[in-house]
Structure 1
Amino acid sequence: MKLGIDAAKKAGGVCEAVVCYTGDVANPKKTKYTLEYYLDFVDQLVAEGIHVLGIKDMAGLLKPEAAKLLIGAIRKKYPDLPIHVHSHDTAGISTASMIAAAQAGADVVDVAIDSMSGLTSQPPMGAVCSALEQTHLGTGIRYEDIQALNMYWSQVRLLYSCFEANVRAADSSVFEHEMPGGQYTNLMFQASQLGLGTQWSEVKKKYVEANELCGDIIKVTPSSKVVGDFAQWMVQNKLSKEDVLERADQLDFPSSVVEFFQGYLGQPVGGFPEPLRSKVIRNKPRIEGRPGASLAPVDFKKIKAELRSKFGKHITDADVTSYVMYPKVFEEYQAFLEKYGDLSVIPTRYFLGRPDVNTEMMIDIEKGKTLIIRLMAVGPVIEGRAQRDVWFEVNGEVRALSVDDKNSAVETVSREKATSDPGSVGAPMSGVVVEVRVKEGIEIKKGDPICVLSAMKMESAVTAPVSGHIKRVVVHEGDSINQGDLVVEIVH
């Protein structure tokens, strides 16, 4: 964190350093992340000259009594330090906790407008402000102003209702699994896409075990993804915590889990659990200390020139930083823009919902330029192409185009399954083959990578369970395969 703190201060910014909260400082049985741990952390941050201290409760674990203890202790030690508290309302307790934090000395607490609040979001603004009325902590925010905003955002939310997670009520099991609010609904959706939707309760249980296997870590992006990938992988492969510990040197772990144990996310509090770490990473390199310290410097000017040469002069400094962090995603987005243009100009109700025939849509593509579009007709499915012809009228001119019909029948490919023979290597999970690293006829050693699978942002390398030579490679990049499908055959 020191690197970021120094950079923010040198740039003339207001530096808010954040302590991520997990565990329960009010529970004497919780002995890893104690009040003393947090106070020591705050001492180190204050010594670096931070301007604001943030307490980030990613999962909504901060109970009122814990908030009173933690914030009260920090305020007593640092009476002039601005304190900002962030939480999630997964268990339904956050309103009480934020009030307790304010009463203990917090200067700022995060809330959400009522229509966007609660559950895995933040506590409702209306409730917190109303509870503090007629006290010395009154916010001065008028009820009428909150309701005006609330009505607006409730209508906006309706437009996106098709993306709503199926979370209907508070979930106090968060105090056990400690899943961050920002991950909870995403992981639920991923589990559904991986065919684990009916096993969500099992995923939550495995999340607890996966966290324990990682050493009871602070779960916030990207470490929370490690635990989530680990948990879903355990459910997919029907593995218990004991199975993982016993067979770790034989299992193909998700890439994020391997990289965590290598040290690419830094050093966790208390260090890595051994011998599990050694069994997971095997002969891969270990990163000690801050991972970024060993990275080569980034030449932003050179990258900007390369991106402008490839995509055009519209590339900005923000685009460059996006590319540096997520090169593949950025290139896919630029390809999307090249094909479809900037779709952000299309009003949400038209973008997400199919327009009715003969209904006009008005789209402002830039200042002073408006397209008046009317859907005229939708043709039948074109045999053999799984497409339909669609006719539009654009500012009075008729346009026709062909679009894919995703509801058309898709040919199902029946794939060969792996057998019980050790050389018959099957897919450890369902997903898409993103990389094949072997060819037929080559020699391979036990533990060498064969291919990489990806499913819902979770990548997993398939490695050779035995030494020998590759007899057959039956998958290709881009193939969609199911768990247990044959990947390669090894003669051993």
Structure 2
Amino acid sequence: MRFLHECPWERLESLREKTPDIPFQMLLRGANAVGYTNYPDNVVHKFCKQAHASGIDIFRVFDSLNYVDNLKLGVDAAGSAGGFVEGAMSYTGNVADPTKGKYNLEYYMKLADEFVDMGVHSLAIKDMAGLLTPAAAKMLVGALREQHPNTPIHVHTHDTPGTGIASMIAAAEAGADVVDVAIDAMSGMTSQPSMGALVSMLAGTDADTGIDKSLVGGLNTYWENVRNVYLPFESGQLSGSSDVYEHEIPGGQYTNLLFQSRQLGLTDKWPEIKRKYAEANMVLGDIPKVTPSSKVVGDLAQFMVAQNLNQQQVEDQAESLAFPESVVQFLRGEIGIPPGGFPEPLRSKVLQSRGIEAVDGRPGATLPDYNFEEAEKLLKEKFGAKFIDDKDVLSHALYPNVFTEWKEFESIYGEVSKLPTDLFLSPMKENDEVEFELNPGTRVITKLISITPPRDDGQRTVTFEINGERWLMPVTDISVASDANVRRKASGPNEVGSPMPGVIVNLKVKEGDTVTEGEPLATLSAMKMETVIPASASGVVKHVAVNIGDKVDGDDLLVEIE
């Protein structure tokens, strides 16, 4: 919905139709389903039921904190939907290193026992950052195989430090039934280890995969070509990063943070961001790091970089710091209870200074059921009855803002899933001509004839030919319109500026409002971190210089207070 402006259910069902005999697997974040928050239990159950009906076979259920109560909801929901349930342990630390603290072999064995007691069909080790060394893989998988001889064991890792192949072979030799790999063109670094390498190294051994390498070459060439289409979206990472054993950033987050730091002109701060990530993790009590807990650590790390804070300063100044919202929510207990409990006195300082009560037990347990019937009625009133079905209502329940933005986009541009990928990603140039199938038997030939120079307000006229018929379309060129509106920098105590580059995602005041010093004015999103911008003085809001969705640079004027 967010990036492709497509219906995820239709995408899944079309894939299922074309691949009827290969199991499909998905990640289920326990009580967080496929989001960053807690959902009512009936939403999680309804999602699993629909996902299974649309084509998902295997539900890999995990929780970002390995919190058993959250895990149990996910296991129950996936199981009752008829899926194959895989209980996944979010792996952190190093079981082979006794100095690494609480994440020892005993910790994971206890978690595995709890999964088996829940009735899962298989066990998974979910190594998000690539921390599973060959020695640790041998020790952990071997112990699991001995204790649960009849339960399939599945191992997932990322190749961030470059040791993935060695670790997966060690896991296989210790008794793992399945390991995750990626086809060569998509493997390595923060992806999974190379499939071709693993197949070759195990050929002729007791663990021979039986995969015919002669059939893999064509697929690999295909994916090399596909990857070239997406080069503008690559993170820029050129090699592995063995320092992951120190900072423990998960693979998916590593590339996101690297890409976003470059976008924001903070490339020179990347080593510091990684160091602060490790510090932030310890501030929060050394927690497993996977969505959404990894976002909490990442938000705090970015905050520490932006504010030039170290671990001790964060703990000492906890009552007065404007922490990212995700950090406050974590300390409140909104995503569950971390292994070993919350960090103290940090938690008490943050909650007491804000007058916030802690969440007791599973965060979603007290949420009322979601009213699907009422939501369906409202959505049909807004978008039209023929454009809303049960799957749409479910998508809205999970991602209300993203769903709304997608439907508003679709109401303007129609269904864009039919567009060829390169055309969707890159604009046409004058005299370009493309042909694609709109519906079975209906082909469209589109040629871009001309684009006029922009007017003062940024409007251009674009001329197309559609199957030989000429069309004229007025289009606002955002880049031209925005260039005319250069923001001035804030100066003085009564002018509130942006602390860093980012996007305005919320405004809490309007012109004429009376505010007191420290009161929230706006929320800024930067590199997946949301920062609340407080008033620098008491008074009346004279001018609000930004709108929601505006991109700002550091020190750009946001609000004037009189």
In the alignment, structure 1 residue 99 sits paired with structure 2 residue 169: yes
Mapped partners of 1:472, 1:393: distance in 2: 50
Pairwise CA distance, 1:425: 4.7
Partner of residue 115, structure 1? 185
Residue 291 of structure 1, aligned match among 363, 369, 381? 363
What whole-Å deviation, never above 9, does each CA across 1:121-168 have from its counterpart, x for those lacking one? 101111111111111111110011111211111111111122122011
The 8 Å contact of residues 441 and 469 in structure 1, kept in 2 or not, is answered as no
Q: Which one scores higher on RCO, CA 8 angstroms, separation ≥ 6?
A: 2
Which residue among 506, 520, 523 is the counterpart of 1:452? 523
Deviations 1:317-373 (A, max 9, x none): 332232112211111111111111121211112222343543431111111111111
Contact 1:433 1:475 survives alignment (8 Å): no
Aligned equivalent of 1:6, options 76, 83, 105? 76
- Displacement of 1:437 in angstroms is 2.4
Aligned to 2:213: 143
Q: Secondary structure at the match of 1:461?
A: strand
Q: In structure 2, what is the Cα distance between the partners aligned to 1:269 and 1:201?
A: 28
Amino acid at match of 1:314: F
Instruction: Report whether the alignment pairs 1:336 with 2:406.
Output: no
Partner of residue 382, structure 2? 310
Specify the alignment match of 2:288 in structure 1: 218
Residues 267 and 288, structure 1, Cα contact 8 Å, conserved in 2: no
1:59-138 equivalences in 2 (<5 Å): 59-138=129-208
Report how far residue 487 of structure 1 moved.
4.6
Mapped partners of 1:384, 1:233: distance in 2:
39
Which is further off, 239-248 or 350-359?
350-359
Residues 390-469 of structure 1: matches in 2 within 5 Å?
A: 390-405=462-477, 408=480, 410-419=483-492, 421=493, 425-438=496-509, 444=515, 448-464=519-535, 468-469=538-539
- 2:545–2:558 contact (8 Å) kept in structure 1: yes
Q: Tell me which moved more, 386-395 or 68-77.
A: 386-395
1:244 alignment partner AA: V
CA distance in 2, matches of 1:399, 1:316: 33
Question: Structure 2: how far apart are the matches of 1:172 and 1:373?
Answer: 49
Q: Can you list the C-alpha shifts for 1:229-288, whole angstroms capped at 9, x where unaligned?
A: 211122122222222222222221111112111111111111111222233332123212
Mapped contact 2:514–2:541 kept (Cα < 8 A): no
Aligned residue identity for 2:490: K
Q: 1:104 to 1:307 in 2, by over 3 A?
A: same
Structure 2: distance between partners of 1:231 and 1:252: 13
Q: CA deviation at 1:412?
A: 4.4
Cα RMSD after superposing both structures: 2.2
Name the counterpart of 2:58.
Answer: none
Q: How big is the shift at 1:406?
A: 5.1
Cα contact 2:543–2:561 (8 A) shared by 1: no
Judge conservation of contact 2:515–2:541 (CA < 8 Å) in 1: no
SS at match of 2:82: coil
The residue identity in structure 1 corresponding to 2:498 is A
Aligned-partner residue type, residue 360 of structure 2: E
Q: TM-score, normalised to structure 2's length?
A: 0.82
Q: SS state of the match for residue 345, structure 1?
A: coil
Deviations 1:67-117 (A, max 9, x none): 000000000011110111111011111011111111111111011111111
1:55 aligns with 2:125: yes
Aligned mate of 1:366, from 430, 435, 439: 439
Tell me the secondary structure at the aligned position of residue 344 of structure 1: coil
Give the length in aligned residue pairs. 487
Whole-angstrom CA distance in 1 between matches of 2:350 and 2:82: 43
In 1, Cα distance between equivalents of 2:153 and 2:266: 40
Deviation at 1:54, TM superposition (A): 1.1
Change (3 A) 1:222 1:276: same
- Supply the distance in 2 between the matched residues of 1:457 and 1:175 (Cα, whole angstroms): 23
Does the residue aligned with 1:212 lie in a helix, a strand or coil? helix
Distance across 2 between alignment mates of 1:430 and 1:279: 29
Verify: 1:158 aligned to 2:158, yes or no: no
**Alpha-carbon spacing, 1:269–1:418, altered in 2? closer, same or farther (3 Å):** farther
Is the deviation greater in 300-309 or in 257-266? Answer: 300-309
Length-normalised TM-score, structure 1: 0.93
Shift of 1:475: 3.9
Which of 260-269 and 276-285 deviates more? Answer: 276-285
Pick closer, same or farther for the CA change 1:465–1:353 going to 2, 3 Å. Answer: closer
Q: How does 1:167-186 map to 2 (within 5 A)?
A: 167-186=237-256
Measured in 1, the distance between the counterparts of 2:485 and 2:309 equals 29
Q: Percent identity?
A: 50
**After the TM superposition, which of the residue ranges 16-25 and 239-248 deviates more from structure 2?**
239-248
Contact 2:295 2:528 in 1 (8 A): no
1:207: which partner in 2?
277
The answer to whether the 8 A contact 1:418-1:424 is kept is yes
Equivalent residue letter for 1:345: K
Q: 8 Å contact 1:256–1:459 — kept in the other structure?
A: yes
* Residues in 2 aligned to 1:178 and 1:385: alpha-carbon distance in whole angstroms: 48
Shift of 1:485: 4.4
SS at match of 2:334: coil
Kindly state the Cα deviation for residue 447 of structure 1 after the two structures are TM-superposed.
Answer: 5.1
Structure 2 vs 1, CA of residues 403 and 445 (structure 1 numbering), >3 Å: closer, same or farther?
A: closer
Residue of structure 1 equivalent to 2:455: 383
Contact 1:424 1:486 in 2 (8 A): yes
In the TM superposition, residue 456 of structure 1 has moved relative to its aligned partner by: 4.4
Q: For residues 46 and 292 of structure 1, what CA distance do their matches in structure 2 show?
A: 23
Give distance in 1, aligned partners of 2:231 and 2:547: 35
Specify whether residues 38 and 428 from structure 1 end up closer, same or farther in structure 2 by C-alpha distance, changes over 3 A only.
Answer: same
Is there any run of 5+ residues in structure 2 with no aligned partner, and where?
Answer: 1-70
Residue number in structure 2 paired with 1:269: 339
After superposition, the Cα gap between the structure-2 partners of 1:132 and 1:317, relative to the gap in structure 1 and judged at 3 Å, is farther
CA gap 1:277/1:195 in 2 versus in 1, 3 angstroms: farther
Q: Which moved more, 1:295-304 or 1:427-436?
A: 427-436
Secondary structure, counterpart of 1:248 in structure 2: coil
Distance in structure 2 (CA, Å) of the matches to 1:322 and 1:93: 38
Q: CA deviation at 1:302?
A: 2.4
